[in-house]
Chains A and B, each alone.
Chain A
């Protein structure tokens, strides 16, 4: 069966520090991968998605970047965090046709102080 992992679960970082959040998927090949951010009391904002290794589509110009160094690994990064980067970050994957749903990871709670 398929599994998606995210780490860390919780992170507190000072403003201006770097960030690296990792997401890995097990049990499937060539998944589409996604990073979302959820600010307090708001919906899901799609940040990046990837349909293959090295292929990254950015949805919102911002302080963050994403990379996909391996088929089932998706990394969210920042060189210098801003206060506004605080939020709940969710990784998700999907495959194939449009009738296939997304599967979400457990999320990372990021607080920038």
Chain B
């Protein structure tokens, strides 16, 4: 069965520190993977996506993610976190029509 796991429900980092949010997927075929960000009370915004080619993908707002097929992972990273990055982050994999989302990781940034 297709699934996405985000093992960290909450993460707290200091402003300027590096960030890595974990995502593991289970999918039988070539996965099409996405990271979204959601600010409180808002819809979701796409940060980046992977479907083929270079396993390190760049996204908006300085984020990047690395696809590792051997580990079934698609972790999101940012070298230096800004206070405005505080939000909830969702990893997703696309099936035929449906998108399977993880339960999300809520990021808190300390000044």
Contacts and interface: CB of A to CB of B under 8 A. Distances in A.
A interface, how many residues as a size bin? 20 to 34
B45 interface: yes
Contact of B98 (A42, A46, A103): A46
B43 A90 contact: yes
A100 to B, nearest CB: 8
Interface residues of B, number: 23
Given A43-B101, A43-B103, A51-B97, A104 B49 contact: no
Interface string B62-100: 000000000000000000000000000010101011110
Given A98-B94, A99-B49, A42 B41 contact: no
Contacts of B96: 98
Contacts of A94: 99
Contact of A101 (B42, B46, B103): B46
Nearest to B35: A101
Contacts of A83: none
A59 B97 CA distance: 12
B43 A43 contact: no
Interface string B35-59: 0100001111110010110000000
A105 B43 contact: yes
A105 B41 CA distance: 11
Nearest to A105: B43
Task: Give the most central of A42, A43, A103: most B CB within 10 Å.
Answer: A43
B42 A106 contact: yes
Contacts of B44: 44, 90, 92, 102, 104
B25 interface: no
A94 to B, nearest CB: 8
Interface of A: 32, 34, 42-44, 46, 49, 51, 57, 59, 88, 90, 92, 94, 98-99, 101-107, 109
